[in-house]
Structure 1
Amino acid sequence: MAMGPILGAGRRSRRSPMAEINVTPMVDVMLVLLIIFMVTAPLLATGVQVDLPESKASALDQNNEPIAVSVDRAGQVYVDDAPVAPTDLSARLGQIAASSDEPGGPRIFLRADRSLDYGRVMQVMGELDHAGLRRVSLVNTPLEEAR
């Protein structure tokens, strides 16, 4: 318990118990911790420092699942794991574009085997474009997983 001086008339100072708790050191420590966390938290969230531009664009709608279009090693096209005959591909992609109310169609993830001819992948991309599906993303494997 802390002792504080009490001065009497003509007396020497004597120590008596003080009934207050000094919280100033605790507040100082808490402010230092707050500053440390405020500085380090943004550094933990991103690995690469990038100065992003501002935009008036609205956030993307992430509720809708993308449609996966895959082309295997033999050149067979699959739409969401269902095989599609080359003659039916245009009609199937047209159905997908017609059923979507999003501008540019739904998101399409195009996955193609690395051993495929570049021309075969471009044929599928041409069919996607002809059907009006403009939101196509090419899927790859990150470099660490490829090894």
Structure 2
Amino acid sequence: MTIRYARKKQISEGRPMADINVTPLVDVVLVLLIIFMVTAPMLQMGIDVNLPKAKSQNVDVTEEKVVLTIDGAKGIFVNKTKIPLAELGLRLEGVFADRSERELYLRADRTVPYGFVVEVMAEIRKAGIDKLGMITEPPEEIK
């Protein structure tokens, strides 16, 4: 008894293979999707601040904008760089020296005394900042 096998047609007949293997592409895309899903919430993180809740218009604060943050321990940060209050005016003048629009966003912890926030705002005004925006959290809606 003789067993004969049908010989498969070989692909290497001088023409390129027409099938594209998309499995590695799908694997790479899924890994990138997972990476972006994990890292996207961390981009807005930085200095932990309990913002006050208030109804206001939504403003898109991107990395190009200058954000001044006051944490619960009265620490002052300009774009994640800690600065003492005495040097704030000089540092802000340096940051805005090459910018045409002098716009600053202020994030202050709700536990910081109002008087300290006013002192910081006075230093901001002395530095020649034209526009000052306050960042808050939207209030929780009652269901």
Q: How far off its partner does 1:72 sit?
A: 0.5
CA shift in 2, pair 1:144/1:124, >3 Å: same
1:113 lines up with 2:109 in the alignment? yes
The 2-side partners of 1:63 and 1:120 are apart by: 26
Q: How far off its partner does 1:97 sit?
A: 2.6
Is residue 72–residue 109 contact of structure 2 (8 Å, CA) maintained in 1? yes
Is residue 76–residue 83 contact of structure 1 (8 Å, CA) maintained in 2? yes
What is the aligned partner in structure 1 of residue 93 from structure 2?
A: 94
SS at match of 1:68: strand
Moved over 4 A (4+): none
CA RMSD, aligned part only? 2.1
Is residue 72–residue 111 contact of structure 2 (8 Å, CA) maintained in 1? yes
The 1-side partners of 2:113 and 2:84 are apart by: 18
Is residue 85–residue 120 contact of structure 2 (8 Å, CA) maintained in 1? no
CA shift in 2, pair 1:63/1:144, >3 Å: closer
SS at match of 1:88: helix
Q: How far off its partner does 1:85 sit?
A: 1.7
TM score, norm. by length of structure 1: 0.50
1:83 lines up with 2:82 in the alignment? yes
Q: How far off its partner does 1:65 sit?
A: 2.1
SS at match of 1:144: coil
Is residue 75–residue 82 contact of structure 2 (8 Å, CA) maintained in 1? yes
Is residue 109–residue 139 contact of structure 1 (8 Å, CA) maintained in 2? yes
Q: How far off its partner does 1:141 sit?
A: 0.5
The 1-side partners of 2:134 and 2:85 are apart by: 20
Is residue 128–residue 134 contact of structure 1 (8 Å, CA) maintained in 2? no
The 1-side partners of 2:86 and 2:62 are apart by: 32
TM score, norm. by length of structure 2: 0.52
1:70 lines up with 2:69 in the alignment? yes
Stretches of structure 2 that go unaligned for 5 or more consecutive residues are 1-60
Amino acid at match of 2:85: P
What is the aligned partner in structure 1 of residue 123 from structure 2?
A: 127
Q: How far off its partner does 1:109 sit?
A: 1.0
CA shift in 2, pair 1:63/1:87, >3 Å: closer
CA shift in 2, pair 1:71/1:63, >3 Å: closer
